[in-house]
Structure 1
Amino acid sequence: MGGVQTTGTLTLAAAPIGRTEDASERLRTALAEADIIAAEDTRRLRRLTADLGVDPAARIVSYYDANERARAAELVEQLREGRDVLVITDAGLPGVSDPGYRLVTAAIEAEVPVTVLPGPSAVTTALVISGLPSDRFCFEGFLPRKAGERSARLASLAEEPRTMVFFEAPHRLTAALEAMAAALGADRPAAVCRELTKTYEEVRRGPLGELAVWSADGVRGEITVVVGGAPERSGDADLGELAEEVERRAKDGIPRKQAIGEVAREHRVQKRVLYDAVIARKTAR
């Protein structure tokens, strides 16, 4: 026979990503009944509860990136003492590029029950509205801010076959799209999703290169970028034919190094292997 639960329960609650009316009745109830609410931004939480007509009796504490580690230990102690803790971020589900992961792992280690109050997510919302394949996808969060680190991360994703979802800040969007076009190919299909579920929702679809040009005029709001995965190879590439394609592009004025990179990316072969094939073709003449 199981014993009586003496600890509290940790609840991860999804918050609306735009319209308040997307909040569920379960969220209203949970906000009203929790003993402690850990909020990424307590001011935004106050606005949300006011809009929902909820007057929480809970003790409200801040829970954000800078204090996540220390606050997690404190909240686990409260859970052990039998208090129910609800975690809510500014928008979407806690733990998805927002605070929550450390607290979940700490609660699991402490054998405290963890549950989720499901709801809106910018990741899945952008994915299904993008028009790109959604049967297999991966979430990459925010790209590194430094150009070199960003390029390295994207280079590691050049062969990723699944649809990719990214978050990005408006003022870094153009740089991110340009880096994506360079690493993944300017023709790679993508969608920039702005202000999802809000009044000025906008989804711009097209090749990465075109989206980078479009974004240069400035894009505002919360941004989610969805990028198609690397195309499947139809079979083993004929290196001789690919070397010929490199030479054709070189004759058209494209630098040979750039041509090798483009052809290798389009046909999903290693640049070094294609480079060796180009050299071998020249030597054989």
Structure 2
Amino acid sequence: MTTLPTGHLSSPVHVWLVPTPVGNLGDITLRAIEVLRGCDAVACEDTRRSGQLLTHLGISRPLVRLDAHTMGRAPGVLEQYPRLAYVSDAGTPGISDPGAELLRLAVELGGRAEVLPGATAFVPALVLSGLETGRFTFEGFLPRSGRERRERLKAVTERAETTLIYESPHRLHATLEELAVLCGPERRAAVTRELSKKFEETVRGTLPDLVERFAAGVKGEIVIVLQGAPAQAQPVADAGFAGQAAAWAEAGKSVREIRELLQQGGLRKNDAYELALRATTGETPSDETGLAG
């Protein structure tokens, strides 16, 4: 705990980032309850969700919405409520949410900032994966599309250390498919969802195993834990792409679908089409055929 120089607001600022349970409400800490009871107000991403937590804990404090869209109000909120606790929807604030911005503001204003230890999703998921925990990288949410996504996926798959990725249910299957193309059939991973809740689940296996397992969709908050690349690993050879293309063809995907997946994995359009056609029909495109679809 470090007391910072006096700032420019009328009262000294004290901000706490308070972790809240990712599922089981019993995971709240005694210190978190103490801070929430003693602060002037609680800032949060969703007043309804955080209000339910405070009601469960028997705590009555003003609730103020401060999310990615309303963080510009933060100086005024700190003027009104200089002893401010901040909670995210679940887990530790400041990790993939606006809590980090609020903490930086408090420091810039010469205030006092504290981050309480507590619940988070990626640490239990990492340990549950059974993969290497000595070195790891927290990637958070990947870009949704385009060149930035392709570049981030390539960087992720070439890392020597374990990587943790947050993903939404409706994008999980596509992300696993892309990882399988880039990493090849032997790379292992784990998918953990609904941590500390009734239907908590961790599925471990190779990436193709996980692609098959989650083909029908899934619900809940998700962490993907990806095994690091083998030492001195080179980008997956064409043989690896061909094997994955064959697996997709066997699963009933069309030439167009396979081609697009292979392109997402880094193959050029012509090469991706050739592999997709070969996997589905056993043929290769003639010079006159060109690109289909």
TM-score interval, smaller chain: 0.7 to 0.9
Could you give the per-residue CA deviations for residues 112-170 of structure 1, whole angstroms, max 9, x where no partner exists?
11001211100111111111111111111111111543222111223211110011000
* Distance in 2 between residues matched to 1:3 and 1:186, nearest whole Å: 52
Structure 1, unpaired ranges of 5+: 238-245, 256-260, 266-285
Q: Please give the per-residue CA displacement for 1:224-279, whole angstroms capped at 9, x wherever unaligned.
A: 11101111239xx9xxxxxxxx79x59x9999xxxxx9xxx9xxxxxxxxxxxxxx
Taking the aligned partners of 1:4 and 1:112, their CA distance within structure 2 comes to: 7
Q: Distance in 2 between matches of 1:76 and 1:139?
A: 30
Q: 1:95 to 1:3 in 2, by over 3 A?
A: closer
What residue in structure 2 maps to residue 30 of structure 1?
A: 35
Structure 2 partner of 1:279 = none
Aligned twin of 2:163: 164
The aligned counterpart of 2:253 is none
CA distance in 2, matches of 1:230, 1:163: 8
Partner of 1:272: none
Tell me if 1:190 matches 2:189: yes
| Residues 1:55 and 2:54 are matched in the alignment | no
User: Alpha-carbon deviations, 1:46-76, whole Å to 9, x = none?
Assistant: 1111222x222x32101112112x1333334
**Aligned length in residues:** 240
Distance in 2 of aligned mates of 1:185 and 1:63: 42
Normalised to the residue count of structure 2, the TM-score between the two structures is 0.74
Cα separation, 1, equivalents of 2:14 and 2:243 = 65
- Report the equivalent of 2:75: 73
The alpha carbon displacement at 1:183 in A equals 2.1
The equivalent residue for 2:280 is none
What is the CA deviation profile of residues 177-208 of structure 1, one whole-angstrom value per residue up to 9, with x for unaligned ones? 11111223332110000101111000000111
Asked whether the 8 Å contact 2:163–2:228 carries over to 1, the reply is yes
Q: Partner residue of 1:10?
A: 15
1:130 counterpart residue number: 129
1:66 aligned counterpart, secondary structure: coil
TM-score (norm 1): 0.76
Does the Cα contact within 8 Å between 1:44 and 1:90 map onto a contact in 2?
A: yes
Equivalent residue for 1:225?
224
CA contact (8 A) 2:193 2:202 kept: yes
How large is the RMSD of aligned CA atoms in angstroms? Answer: 3.0
Residue among 49, 59, 62 paired with 1:44: 49
Change (3 A) 1:4 1:216: closer
Partners of 2:191 and 2:85 in 1: CA distance: 32
Query: Aligned equivalents of 2:38 and 2:93: distance in 1?
Result: 19
User: Which residue number in structure 2 is paired with residue 243 of structure 1?
Assistant: none
Q: Give 3-state SS (helix, strand or coil) of 1:193's partner.
A: strand
AA partner of residue 19 (structure 1): N
Structure 2 CA distance for aligned equivalents of residues 137 and 73 of structure 1: 35
